[in-house]
């Protein structure tokens, strides 16, 4: 027995030495960076008994719906102050503050064109009509009687970051119109089968019950593949910002097509050519034509730690971690460069690697304290490789706005400060 304890103790000590030693923080053991200066001023550290052990904590019921610790109050949505945030608005997920792959519901990104409606689920209906045998109107109770399913998928606005000049400071500024949740609802295929599709049915035109009446045309193949009518998000009912009480989820398709507050599905032979698929959400190419109905979000990744706005406290061991995703399927590989793109190493992927979901990657790194540029690139299971920003500009020209899936490199200065290397 005692030899096991010795072995554990020995490996714990080795680990500690390997990960936390290095630079100026090495001196007296595990006292690091800013923690060390704050530590001197408090009586709450070992060997003392901290003040929060000396009296009972808050009583049960003081928070019937839990909220984060007051010490996490800065972990909030990133809402740009440069944009007028009223009718057309967006708030970004603080990706650099999150771990794992699931976005907490309160931090899920939001993008709306006509404000967030407050919808009474008892008065909400979904109409299904057009090229079907039996037009139907569903209440929320009707939809919950169908067999349900839960799946984890990312959702990303195709206007992410929504500017062609890479001036963002943080991972959230650059790709924060991206989140990932476990969605629960009913397969759209089942609901379409209930109505009976006519052979001419080629498109489904989805309409939201917001003031924007946001409307998008969805190819029938996607509707019959993995589209879902979603009523829950990470276990609880959808948030109003995410489309309460019902949204369309089209895994891997650009965010805009995932119609929130879904009220109508019109089955047709032709697309609607709505505002959102003609004047918006298309890309003007150098030859004067526009790329439309691009649907899928291409493979993309970003390092979230260390990332812009953060600071490495000391040279030595640092884990590089981030997220990768592809609208086409699974992430096959993520490669990380710590030498400004000269060489690339394969990062470890966190299991399970899911289809059309965020995938967390990690690479152990020894920072030598010299200036460095770090970046990641995703490769999906179709073999597609995430391009550099320069490669993307060469193909698309300077006029494109949507579907920017470029690599975002971070510059690390000698003092550990991390900034956007392209800005």
Ligand X SMILES: Nc1nc2c(c(=O)[nH]1)N[C@H]1C(S)=C(S)[C@@H](COP(=O)(O)O)O[C@H]1N2
Residues in touch with Mo ion (CB under 5 A): 111, 157, 255-256
Q: What is the closest distance, in whole angstroms, from the C-beta atom of residue 20 to ligand X in the complex?
A: 38
Q: What is the closest distance, in whole angstroms, from the C-beta atom of residue 9 to ligand X in the complex?
A: 48
Does 359 bind ligand X (CB under 6 A)? Our answer is no
Which H/E stretch holds residue 184? strand 178-187
Structure-derived torsion over alpha carbons of residues 84, 170, 35, 366, reported in degrees to the nearest 10: 180
Task: Transcribe 318-352 into DSSP letters.
Answer: EEEEEEEE-TTS-EEEEEEESSTTS--EEPEEPSP
Span near ligand X by CB under 6 A; candidates 188-196, 253-261, 380-388, 402-410? 253-261
Q: Please say whether the dihedral angle defined by the alpha carbons of residues 122, 124, 126 and 129, taken in this order, is positive or negative.
A: positive
Between 251 and 255, whose beta carbon lies closer to ligand X? 255
Which H/E stretch holds residue 188? helix 188-195
Q: Residue 261 burial (CB < 10 Å; 0-12/13-18/19+)?
A: buried
Distance CA 417, CA 53 (A): 37
| 112 contact choice in Mo ion, ligand X, none (CB below 5 to 8 Å, kind-dependent) | ligand X
Does 396 bind ligand X (CB under 6 A)? Our answer is no
Between 105 and 164, whose beta carbon lies closer to ligand X? 105
Distance CA 255, CA 257 (A): 6
Between 321 and 405, whose beta carbon lies closer to Mo ion? 405
Does 256 bind ligand X (CB under 6 A)? Our answer is yes
Between 131 and 297, whose beta carbon lies closer to ligand X? 297
Among 214, 230, 297, 347, binds ligand X (CB under 6 A): 214
Q: Please say whether the dihedral angle defined by the alpha carbons of residues 61, 65, 68 and 70, taken in this order, is positive or negative.
A: negative
Question: Which one, of 307, 323, 321, 408, lies nearest residue 357 by Cα?
Answer: 323
Between 108 and 296, whose beta carbon lies closer to ligand X? 108
Which H/E stretch holds residue 192? helix 188-195
Between 111 and 300, whose beta carbon lies closer to Mo ion? 111
| 283 contact choice in Mo ion, ligand X, none (CB below 5 to 8 Å, kind-dependent) | none
Q: Please say whether the dihedral angle defined by the alpha carbons of residues 84, 88, 93 and 96, taken in this order, is positive or negative.
A: negative
Q: How far is CA 358 from CA 95, 175, 194, 298, 411, in A?
A: 12, 13, 32, 13, 24
Strand partners, 150: 184
Span near ligand X by CB under 6 A; candidates 47-55, 127-135, 258-266, 405-413? 258-266
Distance CA 268, CA 197 (A): 10
Among 78, 96, 242, 304, binds ligand X (CB under 6 A): 242
Residue carrying the six token digits 């020209």: 397
Among 176, 255, 308, 327, binds ligand X (CB under 6 A): 255
Q: What is the closest distance, in whole angstroms, from the C-beta atom of residue 279 to Mo ion in the complex?
A: 14
Between 44 and 88, whose beta carbon lies closer to Mo ion? 88
Span near ligand X by CB under 6 A; candidates 137-145, 204-212, 221-229, 389-397? 204-212
Contact positions with ligand X (CB under 6 A) in 101-160 = 108-113, 155, 157
Which DSSP symbol is given to 159? T
Distance CA 138, CA 121 (A): 11
Our measurement of the distance from residue 372's CA atom to the centroid of its chain's CA atoms, rounded to an integer in Å, reads 26
| 321 contact choice in Mo ion, ligand X, none (CB below 5 to 8 Å, kind-dependent) | none
Between 108 and 361, whose beta carbon lies closer to ligand X? 108
| 205 contact choice in Mo ion, ligand X, none (CB below 5 to 8 Å, kind-dependent) | none
Which DSSP symbol is given to 147? -
Among 208, 308, 322, 409, binds ligand X (CB under 6 A): 208
Q: What is the closest distance, in whole angstroms, from the C-beta atom of residue 403 to Mo ion in the complex?
A: 11
Q: What is the closest distance, in whole angstroms, from the C-beta atom of residue 91 to Mo ion in the complex?
A: 12
Between 97 and 210, whose beta carbon lies closer to ligand X? 210
| Contact footprint for ligand X (CB under 6 A) | 108-113, 155, 157, 208, 210, 212, 214, 241-242, 255-256, 258-261
């Amino acid at each position: 027995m005692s030899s096991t304890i010795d072995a554990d103790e020995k490996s714990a000590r080795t680990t500690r030495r390997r990960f936390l030693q290095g630079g100026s923080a090495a001196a007296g053991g595990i006292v690091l960076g800013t923690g060390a200066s704050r530590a001197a001023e408090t009586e709450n550290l070992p060997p003392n008994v901290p003040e929060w052990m000396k009296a009972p904590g808050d009583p049960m019921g003081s928070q019937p719906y839990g909220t984060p610790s007051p010490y996490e109050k800065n972990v909030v949505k990133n809402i740009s102050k440069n944009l007028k945030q009223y009718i057309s608005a967006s708030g970004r997920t603080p990706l650099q503050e999150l771990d794992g792959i699931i976005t907490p519901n309160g931090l899920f990104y939001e993008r709306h064109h006509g404000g967030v409606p407050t919808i009474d689920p008892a008065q909400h209906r979904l109409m299904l009509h057009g090229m079907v045998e039996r037009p139907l109107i569903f209440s929320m109770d009707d939809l919950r009687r169908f067999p349900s399913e839960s799946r984890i998928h990312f959702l990303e606005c195709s206007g992410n970051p929504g500017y062609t000049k890479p001036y963002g400071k943080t991972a959230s500024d650059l790709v924060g119109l991206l989140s990932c949740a476990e969605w629960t609802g009913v397969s759209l295929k089942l609901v379409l089968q209930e109505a009976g599709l006519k052979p001419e049915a080629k498109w489904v035109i989805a309409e939201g019950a917001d003031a924007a009446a946001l409307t998008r045309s969805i190819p029938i193949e996607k509707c019959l593949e993995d589209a879902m009518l979603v009523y829950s998000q990470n276990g609880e009912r959808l948030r109003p910002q995410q489309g309460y009480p019902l949204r369309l989820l089209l895994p891997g398709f650009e965010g805009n097509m995932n119609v929130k507050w879904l009220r109508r599905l019109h089955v047709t032979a032709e697309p609607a050519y709505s505002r959102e698929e003609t004047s918006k959400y298309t890309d003007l190419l150098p030859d004067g034509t526009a790329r439309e109905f691009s649907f899928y979000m291409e493979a993309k990744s970003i390092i979230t730690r260390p990332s812009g706005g953060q600071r490495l406290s000391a040279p030595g061991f640092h884990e590089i971690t981030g997220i990768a995703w592809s609208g086409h399927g699974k992430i096959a590989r993520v490669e990380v460069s710590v030498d400004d793109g000269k060489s690339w190493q394969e990062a470890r992927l966190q299991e399970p690697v899911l289809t059309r979901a965020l995938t967390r990657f990690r690479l152990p790194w020894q920072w030598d304290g010299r200036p460095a540029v770090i970046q990641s690139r995703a490769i999906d299971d179709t073999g597609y490789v995430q391009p550099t920003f320069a490669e993307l500009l060469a193909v698309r020209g300077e006029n494109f706005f949507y579907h920017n899936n470029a690599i975002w490199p971070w510059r690390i200065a000698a003092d550990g400060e991390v900034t956007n290397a392209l800005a």
